[in-house]
Structure 1
Amino acid sequence: MSAGQKAKAMAEQVVGQAVRKVAHAAGKDTTAAKGAALEARGKARAVKERSKDRLKH
């Protein structure tokens, strides 16, 4: 996994989690869902990159 892609995946996960928690606390369901989607996208990116690394070895 390239360092740039790893950082991007981790950043998406962290930002998504933060947005989800803050929006949930504020009662903003739509924004909380967007944060959850961002977090899921970061997790999917990390899984994709790990699988690419495994195929190379």
Structure 2
Amino acid sequence: MDEYVWQPERDHFRARPLVWQTHKGERYAVSYKQRHRFLPQIIAHPVWPSFRSP
């Protein structure tokens, strides 16, 4: 899955699909408002390309 590239000057992140990574390492593109509906109880954090752990 291609990660969504967030550009603060262009996008408001809550209105756009985000790439969420679960504790199992699975990734899904889901909007901020819909995250709990689609990923109940398994969201670890949104995955930002610039925030990725080495």
Higher helix share: 1
- TM-score, scaled to structure 1: 0.24
- TM-score, scaled to structure 2: 0.24
Q: Which fold has the larger relative contact order, with Cα–Cα distance below 8 Å and residues 6 or more apart in sequence?
A: 1
Is the radius of gyration larger for structure 1 or structure 2?
1
